[in-house]
Amino acid sequence: MPRGPRLDAPDTLHHVTVRGIEGRPLFRDERDRDDFVRRLGDLAQAGALTVYAWALLSNHAHLLVRTGVWPLSRAMRSLLTGYAGTFNRRHHRRGHLFQNRYKSIVVEEESYFLELVRYLHLNPLRAGIVKDLRELDGYPYSGHAVMMGRRTAPWQDANTVLGRFGRNPGRARSRYRAFMAAGVPQGRREELQGGGLRRSAGGWVAVQALRRGREVYAYDERILGSSDFVTRLLEDMEKGQTRTRGPTASRMNMDTLIHKVCSTAGIHPEALTGEGRRPAVAEARAGIAYLWVECLGRSGPRLAPALGLQPAAVYKAARRGQAQQARWRRLLKGL
């Protein structure tokens, strides 16, 4: 049965898996691994993704990420296309590197966040790349080493994960380590691979038994979560709704956005199309372009006349706006 269209929206938690074509290696040496990690870190630092957990194996990679200023598809296209091009040039090969499209599963956070962090970070141990948890503590191609303070990766959001184990950093790390140790005997956990309740309840037989009761239980291979979570998510999709950082973001009017940003920058909207080169005008243009193009996914050419810019210049302004992305994203939340 063909896989359905991807489920995605800003601020959505995903378990992403990428595999080498025909089971072939994605990473032949440390240089390949370092290149993939660098590209992932660049996306995280640009605000395209928040990375909570990750692990590289020989022929596949796992990521637990939250979408940011870009849709997941755009972030993954940037990561995988760039990596594949470099890999092919380095190893003098042609053709596809990845097996079909990457797999992404939307995750119900409260139920599965920590379980997936553990599951992903234990992958190198289950695969036999490292012999025990002590060796995994320093393995450079998994986010676990960052969690343990053995490796540095400023782009990985280790604090959010450790914060679930306590406020004191030392105690939180100790509790996280104990949590990881408790997961070692669990092995491969099929219930964390997606499918909503169908997997969580134990497969088709269990779901059929549940359906003989009074309630109807929903499942979807693109979702890891409870029946209620699956139902809500699919209803939102059918209605064309997206979960955004602000309740009105998906319906944002250009004039409203322009007036809000200009007010924040201390200029009148008419100044955007004027001849002046005041820093405040450039700042407002960058903020508007960043929010319009990167956060809302709207057309740059459509915005260009309102900013007094050529279409190509709108995208340059959007890139400049990333320098103050935290400020502009806070503004968007308030709209």
Q: What is the CATH number of the domain that holds 315?
A: 1.10.1750.10
CA distance 294 to 291: 6
- Residue 159 counted as domain residue: yes
The residues of the chain scoring below 70 in pLDDT are: 1-10, 187-252, 276, 297, 334-335
- Residue 276 counted as domain residue: yes
Q: In terms of domains, do 52 and 176 share one?
A: yes
CA distance 183 to 179: 7
Q: In terms of domains, do 166 and 311 share one?
A: no
In the prediction, which pLDDT does 194 show? 46
Kind of pairing between the strands at 60-67 and 103-107: unpaired
- Residue 4 counted as domain residue: no
Q: In terms of domains, do 49 and 180 share one?
A: yes
CA distance 257 to 210: 48
Task: Name the domain count of the chain.
Answer: 3
Q: In terms of domains, do 75 and 177 share one?
A: yes
Which residue range(s) make up the domain with 286? 249-333
Q: In terms of domains, do 73 and 168 share one?
A: yes
In the prediction, which pLDDT does 126 show? 93
In the prediction, which pLDDT does 296 show? 75
CA distances from 58 to 20, 35, 42, 64, 142 (A): 9, 14, 22, 18, 12
In the prediction, which pLDDT does 243 show? 39
- Residue 220 counted as domain residue: yes
Q: In terms of domains, do 218 and 302 share one?
A: no
Which CATH number fits the domain that encloses residue 160? 3.30.70.1290
In the prediction, which pLDDT does 134 show? 96
In the prediction, which pLDDT does 195 show? 45
Last residue of a domain, one of 211, 238, 265: 238
Q: In terms of domains, do 79 and 23 share one?
A: yes
